[in-house]
Structures are given as C-alpha cells and as structure tokens.
Amino acid sequence: MTVAPHFSHRNDTLHAEQVPLTQLAQEFGTPLYVYSRQALRDAWENYRTATEGRNALVCFGMKANSNLSVLREFMELGAGFDIVSGGELARVLAIGGDAGKVVFSGVGKQEWELRAALEAGVKCFNVESEAELEELARVAADMGKVAPVSLRVNPDVDAHTHPYISTGLKENKFGIDINTALSVYARAAALDSLKVVGVDCHIGSQITEVDPYLDALDKLCHLIHALQDSGIRLHHLDLGGGIGIRYTDETPLLPVDLVSRVFETLERNKLGHLQLVLEPGRSLVGNAGVLLTSVVYLKHAEAKNFAIVDAAMNDLIRPTLYDAWHDVEAVQPADPDTPPQSYDIVGPICESGDWLARNRTLALRQGDLLAIMSAGAYAFTMASQYNTRPRPAEIMVDGDSYRVVRPRESLQSLFAPELEALQGRT
Ligand SMILES: *Cc1c(COP(=O)(O)O)cnc(C)c1O
C-alpha cells in the first residue's frame, strides 16, 4: 500500500527499488532524501508516450527538484527545462543542457538573468508583465540580440487547488491579464529586439482535473485567433505544468488524457500547426522520492501524542506551508507489543508550525525509521538550514545499487564563511 510503486515492502521492509531503506539509513544516517531512478524514468515515459508523434516539447519544471543528477536523467531522456531563475539556468548549463530547449518563466527576472539567458540562447522568455517586456527589449537591444518571447497570460480560471499553488486567477501576481494581452503583443511585435514566438499560461499546481486546462486553452485559442487577425503568428503554445500526483487517494490526471484533449481542441480550432510545450514539475518527480527520518522521542502529552523525528519543516515545508498531506510509512514492521496510537509527526525546530503529518495511527517506538512519502518534489529544493540544521544527503537508487547525488552538508560548512568574516580574513 504505497502511493509510489517504486517504494514497496519486500520481506517486511520498505525498499527503494531493490534497496532496503534500513540499509541506506544505516549507511548515510537520517534525515535522508532517497530517489528512485526508475520512478523518474517511468514518469518521463508517461509524457513521452503522450506526446509521441506530436509536435511537442516537454520542459521539466525544475524548481520541483533541481538536483543535477535528476536534471541529467531528464536531459538524457530528451527533456527541455522550465527555469525560473538565473540560478536554475546555471544548473542546466552545468550539466551541458541545451539552452535551445529552455523556457524562462517568472515574474521578477532581473537584468543579469535576462543577460545570461540571452547569452545562452534560451528557446523562449515567458514574459509576465509590460515592464518586463520593455526591460527585455532594452537588454536584448543592448546586446545586439533578438529575444524570443511568449506572453504568459492569466486566463482567470480556477484550477481548484490550494490558494498558495493557484496561479491562474485574476488576483494572482502571475501573468498578463488575457484581456489586455492583445495590446501587449502589439507592443512586443513593434520592438525590433523581440521576436514573438508563443503564448504561455500556467494556472496552478497539483491539478487533478482536465477541465481547468481546457478552460484556459479555450481562452488561449481565442487570443491566438485574434493575434492571427492582427498579423501576429505564433510558433508554440505553452500550457505550463501543474499536473497533480497521488499523495493519498487522488486520481491524478494522466498526461495522455491531457495531451490528447489539447490536440483535439487545437485541431478543432485550426491551430494544429502549433507546437505544444508543457512544463511539468511535480508529476515527473513527486513520487520518485521519500524523506527518511528516525523517531528521536515519543511524547505523550495530555491532548496529543507526538512522535518527534529528526526531519523537520526545514527539510519538508509543504505540510506547514500548504497544509499538505504526505503519507507516512513505517519502514519496518511494528513491534507486536506496541499498540497503534494517533500521533502528530513533528520535528525538532522551535516553531509550532514544525509538523510533517498529523493524526496518523502508527505503532511507534523510539528509533523507528519512517518514510515520508512523495518527497521528490518541492522537498529538497525548498529546504533551508533553519536552526543551523545541515541539509540532508540525497541518494539515487538504481535497481540494487545506489549513489550519493548530494552529500549531507557539514555543520562546519554552514558557518565557515561567517567564521572567516569574524576572523577578519575576508
Ligand atoms: C512551478 C512551475 C511549473 C511546474 O509546476 P508543477 O505543478 O510542479 O508541475 C511549471 N511552470 C511554471 C511557470 C511554474 O512556476
């Protein structure tokens, strides 16, 4: 019973592929992020088959998990990348990624980031405001380049997801109001240092229904026709990411269902010539990872039982930030003499918001090993060093072998630059 098929119980012990998680905990300590290479490949395969024979490009929304080994895996499988910062661009370039398959999203691109992306030659800038459009035009002109642009429009559709991960409503900071997009496109087309190549939207995250996408697509089709009438022809249509995964009992939307409905709609609207770009993040990595943690103490207070574990909100902020659910699985069978009780799984951080799961019925003892499931997306990438906690190691399992894809941070490394500053050496 697991949300992630590559993490399953064999001989009573939870494994990542063929490797017992007990072995990894013993060798590398906890907390520990463990990824399954096969899970990455399977998730990619869903998109590959969905887009097979179509004019489509799948750009991994890499803020979900930007470990270089994860990026390299997707690059080798043929992915492009959706980046949201100059830092993410640097990661793509560090693995020898093709900038021609990179789309650059984000509301606050700074000059140095625009320059780096122009220098690298990204496929497209997904421009989110008129001010950004003017700045991009200025920077590109200054560099003697022509910037490929797409406007990220806000289609004002409700993705039926958590308010913090909903991005396609009028009141969100993202994108350009679809009703003013025509005039902004006209402005873009008039600027010599810009080349209009596409249109883009990204309506939210953890979306489990196809309808919000189709609502957005309808609006985009209208816009594209209006653009054609005014002489602006696009090359691609980017529907963003946002496809949900199974955290507990959700029935996720399948890429093949989304893609086939999208192409049907495009063809019906005589827009079958457009390249489809997708930017999935979570759905490529979310269930390819777990966060392993050990029970440090059990605490039975009057109102609640607490299992205090060695992972915390700094390692996985989704529960407290989004009120998100992550399944929690015992790695080994419960001791028959330990009765199951309802626990809040909490970390050692000095914040009441430091919880990972609430009201979970588990038979726990001190020292037990737990797996926080679905921790492949927005886990390590959102991790911090709050409370001077080194970020955990990341391990990639591949069949019966495994390797460290990022070592655990040392305590010393957390404050070495401060120590140098203190000693007046810099
Ligand atoms: C975060 C983000 C994505 C990826 O979203 P998922 O929900 O992880 O698929 C794609 N595009 C943009 C612009 C984003 O900000």
Give the residue extent of every domain in the chain.
7-36+286-417, 37-284
Q: At 158, is the pLDDT very low, low, confident or very high (cuts 50, 70, 90)?
A: confident
Q: Identify which of 59, 152, 202, 283 to mutate to test ligand 1's pocket (most ligand atoms within 8 A of the CB).
A: 202
Q: Is 394 in the pocket of ligand 1 (CB under 6 A)?
A: no
Q: What are the backbone dihedrals phi and psi of residue 153, each rounded to the nearest 5 degrees, phi first?
A: -95, 150
HSE-CB of 87 using CA atoms within 13 angstroms: 6
The annotation status of 20 as a binding-site residue, yes or no, is no
Catalytic: which of 59, 201, 221, 350? 350
Is 350 an active-site residue?
Answer: yes
Q: Are strands 32-36 and 289-300 parallel, antiparallel or unpaired?
A: antiparallel
DSSP letter for each residue of 323-339: -----EEESSPPPTTS-
Ligand 1 centroid to 104 CA: how many Å? 11
Output the pLDDT for position 306.
97
- Classified by CATH at the fold level, domain 37-284 comes out as TIM Barrel (3.20.20)
Percent of the chain at pLDDT > 90 equals 92
pTM: 0.97
The annotation status of 407 as a binding-site residue, yes or no, is no
> Could you give the residue ranges of the DSSP H alpha helices within 179-248?
181-190, 211-229
Average pLDDT, integer, range 237-263: 96
Indicate which atom in ligand 1 lies nearest the CA of residue 283.
9
Ligand 1 centroid to 415 CA: how many Å? 32
Q: Is 82 in the pocket of ligand 1 (CB under 6 A)?
A: yes
Give the Cβ contact number of residue 408 at 10 Å: 17
Q: At 164, is the pLDDT very low, low, confident or very high (cuts 50, 70, 90)?
A: low
Ligand 1 centroid to 312 CA: how many Å? 24
Q: What are the backbone dihedrals phi and psi of residue 311, each rounded to the nearest 5 degrees, phi first?
A: -95, 160
Between the alpha carbon of residue 158 and those of residues 165, 203, 247, the distances in Å are: 11, 8, 21
Average pLDDT, integer, range 269-273: 97
Indicate which atom in ligand 1 lies nearest the CA of residue 64.
8
The annotation status of 86 as a binding-site residue, yes or no, is no
Ligand 1 centroid to 165 CA: how many Å? 9
Ligand 1 centroid to 377 CA: how many Å? 11
Taking domain 7-36+286-417, whether its CATH number is 1.20.59.10 is answered by: no
DSSP secondary structure letter of residue 101 = G
Beta bridge partners of 342: 361
Q: How far apart are CA 398 and CA 276, in angstroms?
A: 32
pLDDT digits 0-9 by tens, 191-243: 999 999 999 999 999 999 999 999 999 999 999 999 999 999 999 999 999 99
Average pLDDT, integer, range 302-329: 97
Q: Is 61 in the pocket of ligand 1 (CB under 6 A)?
A: yes
The annotation status of 297 as a binding-site residue, yes or no, is no
DSSP secondary structure letter of residue 363 = -
